[in-house]
Amino acid sequence: MTAWPRLIFAGTPEFAVPSLRALLETGDGPVAVYTQPDRPAGRGRQLRPSPVKTQALAADIPLYQPATLRDPLAQAELAALKPDLLVVAAYGLILPPAVLALPRLGCVNVHASLLPRWRGAAPIQRAILAGDSETGICLMKMDAGLDTGPVYARARCPIPRGLTGGELHDRLATLGAVTLRDLLPDLLAGNLIAEPQDPSQASYAPKLEKTEAGLDWHRPALELERQVLAFNPQPVAQTQINDQTLRVWRARAEIEPHDAVPWHRTAGGTNGDRCRHGRWRVAFNRSAITRWTAVARRRVSGGPSAGWPATAHDMNVRGIAAQTLGQVLGGGRSLATALPPALSRTPPRDHGLLQELCYGVCRWHPQLQALLDHLLIRPLAGAEHMVRALLLTGLYQLWHLRIPEHAAVAETAAAARQLQNPGR
152-182 confidence digits (pLDDT tens): 999 999 999 999 999 999 999 999 999 999 9
List helix spans (H) across 59-164: 72-80, 97-100, 123-129
The answer to the question of residue 398 being in a domain is yes
Kindly state whether residues 241 and 298 are assigned to the same domain. no
Kindly state whether residues 263 and 149 are assigned to the same domain. no
Q: What is the mean pLDDT of the chain?
A: 82
The answer to the question of residue 201 being in a domain is yes
Max CA separation in the chain (angstroms): 77
Kindly state whether residues 295 and 413 are assigned to the same domain. yes
pLDDT in tens, 174-226: 999 999 999 999 999 999 999 999 999 999 999 999 899 999 988 888 999 99
> 3-state DSSP: the chain helix, strand, coil percent, rounded to 5?
40, 20, 40
Q: Is the pLDDT of residue 262 over 60?
A: no
Pairing relation of β-strands 32-34 and 7-11?
A: parallel
Q: Kindly state the helix (H) or strand (E) to which residue 326 belongs, with its residue range.
A: helix 317-329
CB 120 within 8 Å of CB 205 = yes
pLDDT at 298: 40
Q: How far is CA 338 from CA 129, 191, 266, 343, 420, in A?
A: 43, 48, 49, 9, 20
pLDDT in tens, 44-92: 788 899 999 999 999 999 999 999 999 999 999 999 999 999 999 999 9
The answer to the question of residue 175 being in a domain is yes
- For the segment 369-384, the average pLDDT, to the nearest whole number, is 70
CB 238 within 8 Å of CB 248 = yes
pLDDT in tens, 281-311: 555 544 444 444 444 334 333 333 333 333 3
CB 117 within 8 Å of CB 203 = yes
Kindly state whether residues 119 and 155 are assigned to the same domain. yes
Task: Give the number of domains in the chain.
Answer: 3
pLDDT at 82: 96
pLDDT at 415: 72
Pairing relation of β-strands 7-11 and 85-89?
A: parallel
pLDDT in tens, 338-364: 888 888 888 887 888 888 888 888 888
DSSP 8-state symbol, 195: B
Kindly state whether residues 253 and 332 are assigned to the same domain. no
- Domain span at 175: 7-205
Kindly state whether residues 45 and 132 are assigned to the same domain. yes
Q: Is the pLDDT of residue 380 over 70?
A: no
Kindly state whether residues 227 and 178 are assigned to the same domain. no
The three-class DSSP label of residue 41 is: strand
Kindly state whether residues 296 and 416 are assigned to the same domain. yes
The answer to the question of residue 2 being in a domain is no
Kindly state whether residues 279 and 381 are assigned to the same domain. no
Instruction: Report pTM.
Output: 0.67
List the one residue out of 261, 250, 246 whose CA is nearest residue 227. 250
Kindly state whether residues 261 and 366 are assigned to the same domain. no
Kindly state whether residues 51 and 193 are assigned to the same domain. yes
Kindly state whether residues 279 and 293 are assigned to the same domain. no
The answer to the question of residue 235 being in a domain is yes
The answer to the question of residue 1 being in a domain is no
